[in-house]
Structure 1
Amino acid sequence: MSLRGFATLNIWADDVEAATKWYAEFLGVEAYFMRPGPDGRPAYTEFRIGDYQAELGIIDRRFGPPNAATGPGGVVMHWYVDDLDATVKRLLALGATEYQPITPHGDEGFITASVVDPFGNVLGVMKNPHYEEILAALKGS
């Protein structure tokens, strides 16, 4: 067995409704799924985004693992973006804060950056020539 591909990325928020609105504004799409918690407030929402309609889920922090980190850190999932500079500027304008600045890695075109969203989650974005090559090959371009 091996990892076959990214399927769902879950992030946490104390206020799922506010986080859902923020991500809808950033992504330009509405969440397609919502499950209410016992109090009737959204406990889980989900977006489908990107070339492969990957799932981004927002879970009420109350339902998170008991030993979950309370601050940014751990694994950083980097989403491929077409325009890294514009994406980072937009995230910052929407209230995210810089976590890692725009950083080139070597001279092959791999460039990353990450921010902390207003809900305490690290969101990585990147330019990735490998992603572009695979996408073009799959589309037959």
Structure 2
Amino acid sequence: MLRGLATAGYVADDVPAAAKWYAELLGIQPYFSRPDTENPAYVEFRVGDYEHELGILDRRYAPASSGTCGAAVAWHVDDIDAALTRLKAMGAIEHEPKTLLEGGFASASVIDPFGNVLGLTYNPHYLAVLTRHRADSPSAES
């Protein structure tokens, strides 16, 4: 039923400020902006090895909720400590500290400056799938 991450959705009161913050974090600019790039109500980035979508929606159009979101997407990172250090330097607040889990997994989360939970994980399974995907890709055979 669930085939893979399509879009991780976040909300912000100030979409241009959030887009700038995430552009700095990701090292890329949004590829999609509506209604326009001058006054966006929604922006979207393509992130990571599989170009998953990270969208930021103006809070005025978000489903009703209070405080931080109830579901957090955990993004694979190669170094949780380095990611936490960078995110905190950019104004994020630690939500859950780094936790080492069985099998080499680790997790942590922060709250971004816009009130969203941003989950981080070091996930050996993600790396195994990525390695398998790269080995199976047509470009690997050339």
- TM-score, length-scaled by structure 1: 0.91
Q: Count how many residue pairs are aligned between Structure 1 and Structure 2.
A: 135
Distance (whole Å) between structure 2 residues aligned to residue 126 and residue 93 of structure 1: 19
Q: How does 1:47-66 map to 2 (within 5 A)?
A: 47-65=45-63
Relative distance call for 1:44 and 1:73 in structure 2 (3 A) is closer
For residue 130 of structure 2, what is the aligned residue in structure 1? 135
State whether structure 2 residue 95 is matched by structure 1 residue 99: yes
For residue 26 of structure 1, what is the aligned residue in structure 2? 25
State whether structure 2 residue 1 is matched by structure 1 residue 5: no
For residue 73 of structure 2, what is the aligned residue in structure 1? 77
Q: How does 1:117-132 map to 2 (within 5 A)?
A: 117-132=112-127
Q: Aligned-pair RMSD on alpha carbons?
A: 1.4
Report runs of 4+ in structure 1 exceeding 3 Å deviation: none
Q: Counting helix residues as a fraction of each chain, which structure ranks higher?
A: 2
Structure 1 alignment gaps of length 5 or more: none
Distance (whole Å) between structure 1 residues aligned to residue 135 and residue 79 of structure 2: 23
Structure 2 alignment gaps of length 5 or more: 137-142
Letter in structure 2 aligned against 1:4: R
- TM-score, length-scaled by structure 2: 0.90
